[in-house]
Structure 1
């Protein structure tokens, strides 16, 4: 482990170092200033390239608030009405859901409706066409089910139709933090290779056969396949629900910008109740989960997460290339001063 640690956060850094993941990073900003910025391990499976503070790694659903922010920014400019139907901006869209319902995972489109191979992740128009023609699985607004893979296409297509820029370009131009969809050559060179903590990781995280979770994350195929996830094709594609590639500091600065008011808030409660994908009572804001203790943010399958602790003025991000569970983050959280 190496990096910056403020004395009062020594226990947090020790919690981070307790179980090295062979490539991970933790950044904590207090009132926008780093109190922890540490890294450990390597960015490649061969363990030849040490992890750097600017190493990028896929963070799965940790990236969902980023594409949500793109829509909220356009709403703040008067270009999108969150209570308008999606079809007001996307005329071929059949589901009678509002933009707000998409943002809060209550639109009833948690899974892509047409079976597609992994190559479909590179065909934006194809997947958006599937969603436009889909029938919702429940009446929009009546219940929640995290839109695991569909979320980024639903919101990203709204961005494209309203603004004209594709979602990856919008995020790069308007946010400017150290993260990206549809990576450039330079960003590809900074990418870490993903690994499983054990060979059964895909099965452990696949959901029961036939369940909403299984359907939501299983189509298109490949979202839990290392051959796909570590490919150039995947990294160059925009799959905004799951394939944000980010540094820990980039994610933490995104949350710090919401805490200091530089970015509009996402932690505005929209839905409280059971989430059919998450499997528990959930409070959804505009793309973030709001916890009973007042913290808010989003985790990603495999163990990465970004969140804000407004009571302590903290913006926190943990990223890892070894896909496992949230044990490391739980230890880090428990050690907070």
Structure 2
């Protein structure tokens, strides 16, 4: 189905909202505008695709902690675990070309990975968070910010037998598992692969791993994280010892000394390659990628993924709680779903603080939502985007019934920029 090209169907945007949107999405726009009521609430962006066509592309608010710089069409946000969906999609693009098979052991592509009893762990097990390699095992901040070191550590690590074969969210290690696999197959790191396999074919600048380079159209918003530096000596004494335990679960998969400092100030986290957590994206670019997935792999005349590949990305619903985060997320080939019937149909990936990229192939709808707040707990923020998604889905149903207007191309197209320092 194609959009209805009629100017009168363009929505009047709420006060403070920039961009463009089809008039059927008025309820979505009102809800989005209320998420950023003032300078101290930062800014964000929302983009919706319907049957491979953009129908909403809006943004609002501020990119800096002082509330002096306005969010623009090319502002990106660090999207935390939404990055896992990008890294996974890179692997699916390689699979489409016959370079990787999900049921083949990772060690056949990445021989070093076979150490310590991991020779038989398959790509599928890794992408379903069932490899038993979620724990950081006492990694230092310096090591965590060095992606080559982390890939080597994971290749040499033993399996956690308490978690192997069961879904246990690999909060940070998932990214280096993907980048190590991708590097073994292509000789390139995930920073380059995200640009070449995602941003370039989708013709968008808004997909980066880490801080966009100088000269890139996309600029990263500051994170509104707690900026206080007051130390908690009791926590700092207990935390490393707790994280080192084999049964430390989610805490052991996320904690490292100095974890608060990496999102403060100029955000040192952004100067590393952490393919599970430090992607910088625009909402438009996220929606465009998931829009292709929701539309049989095709967007704007580009066959981004094969229809057969896309068909295999929908997994089975499971209510079994994750062993690390105790939430039933039904991971399948790198994306998760929400198993509760009627709540967020489809799949994608959400991130800490509530950014999300999502595809619903059954309805043809996809959306991307990003922002720079880190003010509330993860569950509350995810409740925010779940509520927003309900409105998007209702407005999208109205648009399919009435006809809709596709939006103009906003924001920067893909731009190849060479970094001054190799990543």
2:290 is aligned to 255
Distance in 1 (alpha carbons) for counterparts of 2:258 and 2:100:
32
SS at match of 2:219: coil
Which structure 2 residue ranges, 5 or more long, are not aligned? 1-16, 233-238, 298-303, 395-423
Q: 1:90 to 1:114 in 2, by over 3 A?
A: farther
Mapped partners of 2:91, 2:289: distance in 1? 15
Which structure has the bigger radius of gyration? Answer: 2
Equivalent-residue separation in structure 1 for 2:257 and 2:130 (angstroms): 21
C-alpha contact (below 8 Å) 1:112/1:127 kept by paired residues: no
Aligned residues: 328
Identify the match of residue 135 of structure 1 among 150, 158, 165.
Answer: 158
CA distance in 1, matches of 2:382, 2:191: 28
Aligned match for 1:68, one of 61, 85, 88: 88
What TM-score do the two structures reach when normalised by structure 2?
0.72
* Match of residue 36 from structure 1: 56
1:201-244 CA distance string (max 9 Å, x none): xx9xx9xx65311111113642674227x43x432321000001
SS in 1 for 2:60: strand
The CA deviation string for residues 1-52 of structure 1, in whole angstroms up to 9 with x for no partner, is 2221222110011111123132111111112222221111111112221101
Give the match for residue 100 of structure 1.
124
TM alignment of 1:1-337, pairs within 5 A: 1-20=17-36, 21-93=41-113, 94=115, 95=118, 96-117=120-141, 119-138=142-161, 142-176=165-199, 177=204, 178-182=206-210, 183-187=212-216, 190-196=219-225, 210=243, 211-219=248-256, 221-222=258-259, 225-227=262-264, 230-231=266-267, 233-260=268-295, 261=297, 262-263=304-305, 264-265=309-310, 267-269=313-315, 272=318, 273-292=320-339, 293=342, 294-323=345-374, 324=376, 325-336=381-392, 337=394
Check the 8 A contact 1:112/1:220 in 2, yes or no.
no
Distance 1:307 1:189, change over 3 A: closer
Return 28-37 or 6-15, whichever deviates more.
Answer: 28-37
Aligned CA distance change for structure 1 residues 198 and 121 (closer, same or farther; 3 Å) = closer
TM-score (norm 1): 0.89
CA contact (8 A) 1:25 1:248 kept: yes
Matched-pair contact (CA < 8 Å) for 2:130–2:163: yes
